[in-house]
Structure 1
Amino acid sequence: MPDLLPVALRCYMSKKVMSCIIEVSNIMKVICGKVLDVQELEKVQDRAALTLCNLEKIFPPSFFTIMVHLLIHLPHEAILGGLVFYQWMYPIERFLSKLKSYCCNKHYPEGSIAEDYLAEECMTFCSRYLEDVKTRLNRPSRIAGLTDHNLTETYLFQSYGEPIVKVEIAELDDRSWV
């Protein structure tokens, strides 16, 4: 997202606004990186403060909520806590959303969520041992020729599609590369 947002918005905003958005995107890229450098994060913390000052010159005060101010503290949190993806709440929020979808009885939501979760866990456990019955875990792939072995070795996503025409792989020699 930090790479796509500046590209998507560059035609619609002035250069001052775009420079601030690009700077915020660069700050987020550094914070969310796979490797963190403490000296770099300290510089990023200073850049974040300057970027918010530039944003205050452009946007009205109602734009600056506590979430915008959080940008100043994120580099320091990354220094203290380490890599950011270990601290993200997205997987937990998705799981909680799934649990909320189990709620059938609005008067006693805890009971119905626990009951449906237990039922799904029991069905998943039992379906692992059923060989003759088509279940969610053992049904064949909808894509012809795709097996679990191919899926785990070569493809990141489960559905990858198939080419319509024959695929030809051409290798270039050294001269062609130059």
Structure 2
Amino acid sequence: MVHLPIHLVREAKLGGPVQYRWMYPFERYLRILKSYIRNLARPEGSIDEGYLAEESLTFCSRYLNNISTKFNRPARNGNESVPNGEMSIFKDSGRPKGGSDIAELSRHEFKQLGMYVLQNCEEVWPFIEEHKREIERQSSIGNERHTDDFPDWFCARIFQLSAQGHVSDDLLSLAVGPGIVTLH
């Protein structure tokens, strides 16, 4: 095992990121399939029967209301559901595991982070579509301009709607964006 790290660097350079070529998901699924074997004389039939039973139970469990199934069981790391009136981006999705490191972000990385949050919030998607349509009407350089201009446009649009009383406080907070915090 001491010799293995020498080859890992070369393999990473040749093959790229490991998640595109590792076998763990397939090996884990093969372990599940092997657990279905009850008759060693006919392993294929046992796997078929076990897989069909699992699929049938999964299908039926979607229609059971008062019984705990893997579809209505709470998540392991916290509550995955969004309380009424709360935005999906602010939901409580669990606790962090392990330690943390403090990292300083450049202005460009900070802007990318804010854009990532906006693009992954369901409540912002209609505004993203509206901004893209507005850019398409004005010019043909759409995607780069959208990425650069959207946070400022979104902030102005939300403040405009807020003046009319049509915006929640959470959406207003999201439009303002994160504050830059300096750590000493």
Which TM-score band (shorter chain)?
0.3 to 0.5
TM-score by length of 2: 0.39
TM-score by length of 1: 0.40
The structure whose RCO (Cα within 8 Å, separation 6+) is larger is: 1
